[in-house]
Amino acid sequence: MSDRYRNSEIKMEGINKVKGESTLNLKKEYENNKLVIGPKISKKLMKKNKIVKLYLSTNAPLDLLGDVGSVEIERLNVDAIELGKSLGKNFPISVLGVLK
């Protein structure tokens, strides 16, 4: 088993820590590489109509995104630091965008 596979396995275990009913959707989208991280890239892709859904941490300010239009928004029950840790990142994540 390669190190790359082991690392992805560890990251996937971390997603299970995200609390709420959207855990399965978030896990599936992460496996399919359909998540973009951060408000700037999410806003940019929303303008190009390439984002379907946004996941927001509990402390994510909505004014970062501006007008979201017809994009579905779901608030997660974790803060930005915990969301970042659950995805195996060393930084807080307040916004996750789901690509079409």
Residue 93 to residue 100: CA distance in whole angstroms: 20
So what's the pLDDT on residue 91?
92
DSSP β-ladder status, 72-75 and 95-99? unpaired
Q: What's the predicted TM-score (pTM) here?
A: 0.73
So what's the pLDDT on residue 92?
93
Which has the minimum average pLDDT: 13-17, 47-51, 85-89, 93-97? 13-17
Residue range 69-82: average pLDDT? Answer: 86
So what's the pLDDT on residue 4?
42
So what's the pLDDT on residue 1?
40
Q: Is residue 13 scored above 60 in pLDDT? A: no
Q: Is residue 12 scored above 60 in pLDDT? A: no
Domains of the chain with bracketed CATH: 3-99 (3.30.1330.30)
- Residue 8: half-sphere exposure toward Cβ, Cα within 13 Å: 9
